[in-house]
Amino acid sequence: MHYLHAMLRYSPLSPFIAMMAYAMLQKTSSRKEFRPMLETLRRIVQDVSAAPDLSSALTITVNRIRDAMQVAACTAYLADADNQGFVLMATAGLNPQAVGRVRLGRQQGLVGLVAERQEPINLEDAPRHPRYYPIREVYEEEFHAFLGVPLIQYRRVLGVLLVQHTTIRQFHPAEVDFLVTIAAQLASILNHAVLSGATHAWLDPSAAGARALQGVAGAPGIAIGAATIPRLLADLNDVPDRQAADPAAELAAFQAAVAAVEQELRTASDRLAPLLPPAEQALFSVYRMLLRSDSLLDDTQSRIQAGQWAPAAWRDAVLARARLLEQAEDPYLSARSEDIRDLGRRVLSRLRASPTQFQNDEGGPFVLVAPEMSVAHLAAVPPERLAAIVCLRGSALSHVALLARAMGIPAVMGLGDRPLGRFEGSDIIVDGYQGRIYLNPDPAIRDEYRQLLAAEAELSAGLSELRDLPSATRDGYAIPLYAKAGLLTDIVMAQNSGAEGIGLYRTEFAYMVRESFPSEEVQHQIYRRMLAAFAPRPVTMRTLDIGGDKSLPYFSIEEKNPFLGWRGMRFTLDHPNIFLTQLRAMLRANAGLGNLRILFPMITTVEEAEEALRLLERAYQELQEDDWPCAHPQVGVMIEVPSAAWQAEQLARQVDFLSVGTNDLTQYTLAVDRDNARVAGLYDNLHPSLLKTIAHIIACGRQSGRPVNLCGEMAADPGAAVLLMGMGVDSLSASAISVPRVKWAIRSFTLLEAQELAQQALTLDTVAQIRQLLDDALQRVGLGEIVRRRS
């Protein structure tokens, strides 16, 4: 598939282009010699999106810009981060032999000046500028007018796009706007190519060996396996490249799919004939004509016979024709491109073998790769074969990343919108510590990571000796350390971790893997098994918490800003029937065990807590009336938004305990979308403001006589866990896989050392200072291995 097309599908720049084009049209209304820009911009973006690779995209860009602006030359220089310079990678008008050969230093010439200032430079006579640097190889002696604009994405200069002309003149403001707009679109495409490693060997042919694809660390650990893609194959652009194992079988499947769609169209036409006017009825005939086009069918069949599997062969044949129609000047023909795409999707849906296909059939480990992933995807995978998760979107706090940590498998998030075909069937190394993956790694990289895996196994074996030892400091201060769970399959891992119970059971997972809301009886059975597995140790069950990045397949919630919308307690209070069913199931499951604690999520006001408690009492009374044995459990509220944090004292008076959810609390305090890879670098739960907020919550709990638990991912960080203990948190809840490391850290400090560490941390100004303080402390007590794995 054309990967640039996939990137542009998710480009945020379309409104920007429209806005800039409008401004240019305003500026050029009195300049007849300058062509209208809106259509020109659209055509260039369209042509670039159809390019098969970055080299072709750059070539198309410089040629189309030169023609549109009527200049003598247009050139693209790309930044070579390794060599700290710029490489001429595409030109229309300069010496084509210079492509890939001409290299400029980071601050050399006018190209370096544009990058240095990070703004357009418009010169009427470039050779007279003091920074002008003549390059003999490009033959630019006759050029005078110069306009250069930087290619910038996420504050990083990726290259320089420039135009030159033979006359002495400054470029018109509308021309500057035009080039800036194209540069913004090109920078977005280029950024994806840089992240994927596609530019590395191209810019530096001498480079050898495997190159990592950098994403965001989602869950710690290392894994080696085969990349496998769960899919519905509903989108032509997401069909991966693959060779046909049996071309004859692929051909037969394709012919059967075409016949099925043709019959489907005929049936629909007959059924709707009495309801539609003749013009609309004719659309079905058009579809059938397109479907039976000799050119389309022959092209697909030829591709299959050449070795492509049927979905990819059909994809290429359909998209080639759709793009031709999109470029047609005639509006009617251009509009037909969507018709052929729709037809392509219909046939594709018939070609799919099953809703989810896993191609690694040798029985070895595989790595699940997808743009986004749901709990349902994971639930469909044999857990013994799932080695790791890779998501093109999302961040370390995406729900699937949290689930990966709970499952004890590494995850890398936020790799960017890349073609899935690049991953399918590849051998892949996932480094969840560094947020990197390697596709088809060379032997040296593979051997290095096998050694790391062996060291990981040795460390885990050593930590297993801590299982039955208490979570206590060297001077005997005990702090309860609980595990987190979401599915019944987590029970064994949590029991083996040495945790003292379950500090957070995410009940929403039982909802997310079903096709409808679970009944009271189904929930009762699930909760009973979880409570019985740990009795008499406590199990804290969080009531249904959906919304944000957690959705139910059978109850769609469409919102522009889901993290600030209908989620958590807001949803359940608006649906008391759903809430009461769950509360009754929990209370029934607790009968005779007495280890249930109930936790209300996403509380933002005292009134919400009061209403939730009223409904809990109602559920209790209903069970009493029905002669069900039940008791009042301990009840807590999650403090995960600033409004709750600063009313913690009032909330504490309503309940038995407080539980700090640092994942959302960090997101809302720092105004960082935890599921947005673009701002993932800003998210850090060691931010000084967050530490001060947690200290305030702990003080409120102590003043009210209520214990404060911390159940966010912050508790899974050994250094942060020691810090929190020193701040006065009463208990910690971490993923089962993290419990041994956290216990190791707790048992390595005294309470006084932890308290001194907390006092110092609360005086520091930056995340980097706090992290360094914790790392130094871990090193001093012999926990350098933890620091090395994270760095």
Q: Which helix (H) or strand (E) holds 206?
A: none
Count Cβ atoms within 10 A of the Cβ of residue 156 and give its class: 0-12 exposed, 13-18 middle, 19 or more buried. Answer: middle
Cα(512)–Cα(526) distance, rounded to whole angstroms? 14
Query: Inter-axis angle of helices 310-326 and 331-351, to 10 degrees?
Result: 170
For residues 690 and 662, is the Cβ–Cβ distance under 8 A? yes
Strand partners, 592: none
- For residue 27, the one-letter residue type is K
Q: Which helix (H) or strand (E) holds 103?
A: strand 103-105
Retrieve residue 4's tokens.
Answer: 């640039």
Whether the CA torsion 107, 111, 115, 116 is positive or negative: it is positive
Cα-flanking dihedrals φ and ψ of residue 773, to 5°? Answer: -60, -45
Site of tokens 């071309």: 247
Q: Which helix (H) or strand (E) holds 3?
A: helix 3-9
Expressed in angstroms, the distance from the first to the final Cα of the chain is 36
Answer yes or no: 399 catalytic: yes
Give the active site residue among 192, 399, 524, 687: 399
Give the active site residue among 74, 630, 700, 711: 711
Retrieve residue 263's tokens.
Answer: 């019959």
DSSP state of 368: E
Query: What's the chain's length in residues?
Result: 791
Task: Pick the closest to residue 414 from 391, 434, 397 (CA basis).
Answer: 391
Answer yes or no: 711 catalytic: yes
Residue 424: CA atoms inside 13 Å, Cβ hemisphere, count? 18
Cα-flanking dihedrals φ and ψ of residue 10, to 5°? Answer: -110, 15
From residue 137, alpha-carbon distances to 7, 41, 90, 94 in Å are 34, 31, 14, 9
Task: Pick the closest to residue 76 from 152, 200, 161 (CA basis).
Answer: 161
Cα(218)–Cα(618) distance, rounded to whole angstroms? 40
Cα(41)–Cα(178) distance, rounded to whole angstroms? 8
Using DSSP bridges, classify how beta strands 366-370 and 386-391 pair: parallel, antiparallel or unpaired: parallel
For residues 493 and 408, is the Cβ–Cβ distance under 8 A? yes
DSSP state of 672: -
- For residue 400, the one-letter residue type is V
For residues 158 and 148, is the Cβ–Cβ distance under 8 A? no
Cα(657)–Cα(632) distance, rounded to whole angstroms? 14
In this structure, how many other beta carbons lie within 10 angstroms of the beta carbon of residue 592? 12
**Residues that are catalytic:** 399, 711
